[in-house]
Amino acid sequence: MQRSANILWIRRLVWTYFLLLIFEGVLRKWVVPSLSNPLLLVRAPIVIVIYALAIHARVFPYNRWVMACCLLAFVGLFAGLYVLQDAPVVALFGFQADFLHLPLIFVMPRVFDLRDVRQIDPYLLNSYGAADGAAVSSGSHVYAQRRGCRKRQRAN
């Protein structure tokens, strides 16, 4: 019973992670730009909890790809900490941004079933439409900003 409850929580957290992955940029740019920096790290605790629950439920994969990724991550982390002795936060952020999220792609097939995959498919199609709309809106906003800057430069 405990294992199935953990898998249910892992599924919910993966869905939360997935939604944040898609809409984090929009949140940081337009919805709450004052929280832009904290939103860079909002997915990290979620993925750490997913890994902890996956290990507890014995669904965390210990295959050669995950182990190679972990080895490369820690070599990169220690190299970064050695090179950036004055700025360990930069090395930790690089570790978080580059390696922390990679094993999640190996956890997902162990906790998702066919129903979850079918739910993701139409959601992906709709979210890509939303992401395209956000990209067009962002692109037009950047164009308008640059055009305004050029007009001011000509006036000066």
**One domain, residues 120 and 97:** no
**One domain, residues 21 and 93:** yes
**One domain, residues 78 and 118:** no
* Region of poorest pLDDT, from 10-14, 21-25, 77-81: 21-25
In the structure encoding, which two tokens stand for residue 80, read together?
């970064």
pLDDT tens sequence across 33-63: 999 888 889 999 999 999 999 999 999 999 9
Instruction: Calculate what percentage of the chain has a pLDDT beyond 70.
Output: 76
**One domain, residues 10 and 43:** yes
**One domain, residues 66 and 134:** no
Q: Give which of 28, 29, 31, 23 is closest to 39, Cα–Cα.
A: 28
**One domain, residues 35 and 91:** yes
**One domain, residues 148 and 120:** yes
Residue 137's domain spans which residues? 114-156
Q: Give which of 39, 7, 45 is closest to 23, Cα–Cα.
A: 39
In the structure encoding, which two tokens stand for residue 23, read together?
């809409």
Give the CA distances from residue 150 to residues 4, 66, 138, in Å, rounded to whole numbers and listed in that order. Answer: 59, 50, 18
**Rounded mean pLDDT, 142-152:** 59
Rounded Cα distance between 15 and 82, Å, is 36
Stronger pLDDT, 114 or 104, i.e. the higher one: 104
**One domain, residues 96 and 124:** no
pLDDT tens sequence across 52-95: 999 999 999 999 999 999 999 999 999 999 999 999 999 999 99
**One domain, residues 89 and 12:** yes
pLDDT at 1 over 90: no
User: What is the sign, positive or negative, of the torsion defined by CA atoms of 120, 121, 122, 126?
Assistant: positive
**One domain, residues 14 and 52:** yes
**Rounded mean pLDDT, 123-137:** 56
**One domain, residues 48 and 101:** yes
Q: Average pLDDT of the chain?
A: 83
What number of residues does the chain have?
156
